[in-house]
Amino acid sequence: MKTERQLFANNRAWARAIDARDPEFFAKLSQQQAPQYLWIGCADSRVPANEIVGLLPGELFVHRNVANVVVHTDLNCLSVIQYAVDVLGVDEIIVCGHYGCGGVAAALAQRPLGLIDNWLRHIQDAMRRHRPLLDACRGPADRLRLLCELNVIEQVANVCQTTMVQGAWAGGRDLVVRGWIYGLDDGLLADLAMRVGRGDDFEARLRTAVAAAATRSISER
């Protein structure tokens, strides 16, 4: 267990290392941020957004919650999307899930954990929509893998339906929403072929991406 003293020492070493590479770095960043991407990811400690994609402070606007869920009435997540799209002017929204997600596993197991059961209910709603695909999986590992992917795909669709993204597209903005998944065991990202831009039919994209995920988890494994 690291002590507070060690964490502050780490922080000073980190700031010195960045300053050595670029003495203007913090001065420039303190004046403005202009990230190109909004990242919506899981709160899991093993999925640090910036590190995975090798981006520095200032390059990624980040929202994380348990199991990277985008709920239509979650003012926290909606405010992040609104600020990112309208004020910061990001071009891309990335929903990034990960395999072996504890939140997704808990939703799948329907094991009571407390207050969070209400949050995970949203994943169980997605489970209900894809029940035949999940039932067709050979075992619990394949089922969890598939649901981790389906959850990302569903959350991308939820982002597309927000008033902010719909408004940006109606106003002619070339905003792209996409779904990725991260492997805890190899540190690699995979694209879930759920990419939606202005003029795209997100429900058609969702059907295609769901079918591809099902093929990976059911037929090939």
| Residues tagged active-site | 42, 44, 46, 98, 101
194 and 156 in contact (C-beta within 8 Å)? yes
**Which CB, 107 or 164, lies closer to Co ion?**
107
Contact positions vs Co ion (CB under 5 A): 42, 44, 101
CA gap 93, 87 in Å, rounded: 14
The residue ranges of DSSP E strands in the chain, in sequence order, are 37-42, 60-65, 92-98, 176-182, 189-196
In sequence order, the β-bridge partners of residue 151 are: none
78 and 128 in contact (C-beta within 8 Å)? no
**Which CB, 42 or 94, lies closer to Co ion?**
42
The minimum distance between CB 16 and Co ion, in angstroms, equals 33
DSSP label at residue 52? H
**Which CB, 101 or 175, lies closer to Co ion?**
101
**Which CB, 52 or 164, lies closer to Co ion?**
52
3-state secondary structure of 41: strand
The minimum distance between CB 42 and Co ion, in angstroms, equals 3
Burial 193-207 (b: 16+ CB within 10 A, else e): ebbbbeeeebeebbe
The minimum distance between CB 161 and Co ion, in angstroms, equals 22
CA gap 158, 219 in Å, rounded: 27
**Which CB, 27 or 184, lies closer to Co ion?**
184
Tell me the CA end-to-end span of the chain in Å, nearest whole number.
39
Q: 49: which 2 tokens? A: 């957004």
